[in-house]
Amino acid sequence: MAAKGGPTNLEKEQMFGMAEKEMEYRVELFNKLTQTCFDKCIEKRYKEAELNMGENSCIDRCVSKYWQASLLIQFFFVDSFMNIQLLKIPWVTNLVGQMLGNRPQM
C-alpha cells in the first residue's frame, strides 16, 4: 500500500488488469451463451419476424441452464483454487498430513 493508505500505481494496474480480464470473460460468456442458445432454439429458416412461443420457451430454458452450469463451474474452480491456496500454508499442510496419518492423499 502507498504511504497515505491508497493503492500504489502497481496495485492500481493490477486491479485494472483483473477488471479487464473479468470483463473479457463476461463478454465471452455472453457471446457463447447467445450463440449456443441461438443455434439450439432458432430455426435456420425464419418463418416469422418475431420469436414464436416454442422459441421463446427454448431460449428461456437454454439461458437458465447455461447460466446455472456456468455458476457451478465457477464455484468448482473457486473452491479448488481456495483449497490449493490453503494447502500452501504450512500449518494447514501439517494439519491435513496429521489427519491423513502422514500418507499421501489418493
Q: Distance between CA atoms of 98 and 92, rounded to whole angstroms?
A: 10
In a domain, 106, yes or no: no
The pLDDT-based confidence of 92 (bands split at 50, 70, 90) is low
Nearest to 96 by CA among 88, 87, 82: 87
Instruction: Tell me the residue range of the domain where 35 lies.
Output: 9-99
CA pair distance 100, 17, nearest whole angstrom:
39
The CATH number for 57's domain is 1.10.287.810
Main-chain phi, psi angles of 67, to 5 degrees: -65, -45
Residue 1: predicted pLDDT: 46
pLDDT score recorded for residue 70: 87
More confident residue, 106 or 29: 29
Please report whether residue 91 resides in a domain.
Answer: yes
CA dihedral 97, 106, 78, 63 (to 10 degrees): -160
Instruction: Give domain status of residue 104, yes or no.
Output: no
How many percent of the chain have pLDDT more than 90?
A: 30
Q: How confident is the prediction for the chain on average, in pLDDT?
A: 81
DSSP string for residues in 45-67 = S--SSS--HHHHHHHHHHHHHHH
pLDDT number for residue 54: 93
Q: How many domains does the chain have?
A: 1
Contact 37, 59 (CB under 8 A): yes
> How confident is residue 27, by pLDDT bands cut at 50, 70 and 90?
very high
